[in-house]
Amino acid sequence: MNETLNLEPLVGAHFTGVVARCLTGDIYNEQTPTKAVSFTIDEEDELDAENQNAFVRNIIERLDKCFA
């Protein structure tokens, strides 16, 4: 996961954080996560409001701050 931190000088902190969140599965961490989250998904589970809000806040809104 430390390789992700090498991205920051190239693509910026916002994009690096999004990449780290996607790779670790840690969408709740507002800082740049460094460890993978261990979880299981039951086929009957639905994405609840808390997960959706965390995804929007820490993935979508962060990507909106990135500039090419």
Per-residue pLDDT tens for 16-45?
888 888 888 888 888 888 888 766 656 446
**Which of the two residues, 33 and 4, has the higher pLDDT score?**
33
0.75 exceeded by the pTM? Answer: no
Q: Lowest mean pLDDT of 4-8, 10-14, 24-28, 62-66, name the range.
A: 4-8
62, two tokens: 């962060």
48 closest CA partner among 28, 21, 18 = 28
